[in-house]
Structure 1
Amino acid sequence: MTDRELQHIITKARDAKHGGFGVLSTGEKLAVALVLNRPEWLADMRYTLAEAIERVGPEWLALIPEAARALEYEDEQADDRA
């Protein structure tokens, strides 16, 4: 687990949040859907939650809560500035 991997997931999730998946690998799409708590995206890709967790793997799975918190913090900061 590295800070670089965390930043990669955060960046992909941020981009997806504001414009959809774009060009992402299946693993990135699944990780983003988990970070953003978007089960409908998993369903659209025909993955169950359990399958997504397995596909993402333990290293990225461990980063998902921190990535989700980072994006939530960004949203809170943006709300405070508005």
Structure 2
Amino acid sequence: MSDQELQHIITKSRDAKHGGVGVLSTSEKLAAALVLNRPDWLAEMNYTLAEAIERVGPVWLTLIPKAARELEYEDERAAGKA
């Protein structure tokens, strides 16, 4: 696990949150859907939760909770809560 991979997931998830997933790879789209808790995106891509977890792989899977917390913290800071 590297900070570079974590930052990659955060950046792609942030991009997806603010502009959609159009230019992301399938794995990036699935990771963003998991980070952002968007099961509707998984359904739109015809992936189950289990399939998405398998597709992103064990390394990215361990980074998803950290990425989700970072984006949540960013939202709190932007709202003046942190």
Moved over 6 A (4+): none
Q: Whole-Å Cα distance in 2 between the matches of residues 12 and 24 of structure 1? A: 7
Match in the other structure for 1:21: 21
Deviates more, 1:15-24 or 1:5-14: 15-24
Match in the other structure for 1:72: 72
Percent identity for Structure 1 against Structure 2: 79
Q: Whole-Å Cα distance in 2 between the matches of residues 16 and 27 of structure 1? A: 13
The answer to whether the aligner puts 1:53 opposite 2:53 as a matched pair is yes
Deviates more, 1:4-13 or 1:21-30: 21-30
SS of alignment partner, residue 80 of structure 1: coil
Q: Which amino acid aligns with 2:40?
A: E
TM-score by length of 2: 0.96
SS of alignment partner, residue 22 of structure 1: coil
Cα distance, 1:22 vs structure 2: 2.7
CA RMSD of aligned residues (A): 0.9
Length, aligned pairs only: 81
Q: Whole-Å Cα distance in 2 between the matches of residues 71 and 22 of structure 1? A: 20
SS of alignment partner, residue 31 of structure 1: helix
- Which stretches in structure 2 are left out of the alignment for 5+ residues? none
Q: Whole-Å Cα distance in 2 between the matches of residues 27 and 46 of structure 1? A: 13
The answer to whether the aligner puts 1:10 opposite 2:16 as a matched pair is no
